[in-house]
Structure 1
Amino acid sequence: MADSRWRVVCLVCAALLSGEVLASKVLMTKMTAGFTEDVDLCRKELNLGESVLQDMYYFWREEYQLLDRNFGCLILCMSEKLQLVGDDKRLHHGRTAEFAKTHGASDEIAQQLVTLLHECEKVHHETEDQCVRVLDVAKCFKTKIHELQWAPNMETLMEEVMTAA
C-alpha cells in the first residue's frame, strides 16, 4: 500500500514538472515567434546577409553552432527595438521580465529567465565588442534553456512564425 502511494506521489510530481517544462516551451516559442518583424527591420537596417536568417531559424537546435558576429549585432538591434537593453547596451532586467510576462510568463518564470540571462552576461561582461558579447550571451542562454528542456520545438515554432506573419 505504501509502495503504491509513493508511485502516485512520484507520478503527480513528474506530471507537475513536465507541465512546467511544457508551459516554458510554449512561452519560449511565443517569445521567439514575436521577433519576426524586428528581425526583418534590423537585418535591413544593419545591411546583414542571409546568414543571420539561417542563424535565427536554427537558433534553438541544440547541435547548431552560432559563430557569426553579425548574429550578435542582429540580436542587439532587436533587443534595442524591444527596449530590453539600457543605454549601456546591457540587459535591462525589469523590462526583460515584463517582456516575458507579456508573452505569458509567470512572475517566477520571468525572473528565472532574467536570472539565466544575467548569469550569462556576467560570464561575458568583459568582452568589448558588443556584437560578440551579445552572441556569446545568446549561446550561453541557449545552452541553459536546453539544460532546463525549455527549448521550443522547431515545428511548433515555425507554425507560430507563419501564423504571426
Structure 2
Amino acid sequence: MWFPVRLSAVLLITLAVMDTQGSKETMKDITSGFFKVLNECKHELNLPDHLVGDFYHYWRQEYALLDRDLGCAILCMSRKLELIDASGKLHHGNTQEFAEKHGADNSMASKLVEVLHSCEKQHEAVSDECQRALEVAKCFRSSVHELGWAPTIDVIIEEVLTDM
C-alpha cells in the first residue's frame, strides 16, 4: 500500500522539478529573444558599455539594478519588439505571442503577462518612463524568482555574449 503512495509522491516531485527546469529553459529563451535588439538600442540611445553588465547580471536577485539607462534600454527594446503599445503600456497580446514564440506554453505566457501587468500597475505613478521601466523590470525579476522560473546566470552568459 505504501509503495504506490511513495511512487506517486516521487512522480509528483519529479514532474514539479522537470516543470521548473523547463520553465527556466523557456525563460532563458525568452531572455535571449529580448536581447536580440539590445545592440540596436545601445547604439540608438548612445548607451554606455557598462550597461551590458547590468543585463549580464539581470537575473541575480542580489544584484542591484540602479542605472536609469538600463530602464531606457529596456523601454527601447520593448518598443522594438512591440511589447508595449503607443501609450507606453504593456501590449498583452503581443507579449503573450512573444513568450509563446520563445517556447512558453499558453499558461506560462499568460502568467508572464499577468506578472508584467501587475508590476506595471505597481509602478505607474513613477513619472520618468525610463525609471518606471527599470522598476517594472526589477519587479518582474523578483516575481519570476518567486515562481522558480529564473534562468541561472551561467545559462545566460553565453546568450548575452553571443549577441554582443
User: Fold-level match, TM-score > 0.5?
Assistant: yes
Please name the residue that 2:100 is paired with: 101
Read off the aligned partner of 1:78 and give its amino acid letter.
M
1:163 Cα deviation after fit: 5.6
| CA separation of 1:117 and 1:36: change in aligned 2, threshold 3 A | closer
For residues 37-80 of structure 1, the C-alpha deviation after alignment (integer angstroms, 9 at most, x for no partner) is 31111011111112311111100112111001110000000000
Read off the aligned partner of 2:74 and give its amino acid letter.
I
RMSD: 1.5
Mapped contact 1:69–1:135 kept (Cα < 8 A): yes
Q: Which moved more, 1:106-115 or 1:8-17?
A: 8-17
What secondary structure does 2:37 align onto?
Answer: helix
What secondary structure does 1:56 align onto?
Answer: helix
| TM-score between both structures, scaled by the size of structure 2 | 0.94
What secondary structure does 2:71 align onto?
Answer: helix
Please name the residue that 1:155 is paired with: 154
Please name the residue that 1:129 is paired with: 128
1:125 Cα deviation after fit: 1.2
Please name the residue that 1:5 is paired with: 4
Q: Mark the runs of 5 or more structure 1 residues left unpaired by the alignment.
A: none
Percent of aligned pairs sharing the same letter = 45
Number of residues paired by the alignment? 164
What secondary structure does 1:33 align onto?
Answer: helix
Please name the residue that 1:88 is paired with: 87
Q: Within 2, Cα distance between the matches of 1:72 and 1:162?
A: 20
| TM-score between both structures, scaled by the size of structure 1 | 0.93
Please name the residue that 2:68 is paired with: 69
Q: Within 2, Cα distance between the matches of 1:87 and 1:53?
A: 27
| CA separation of 1:25 and 1:65: change in aligned 2, threshold 3 A | same
Mapped contact 1:34–1:164 kept (Cα < 8 A): no
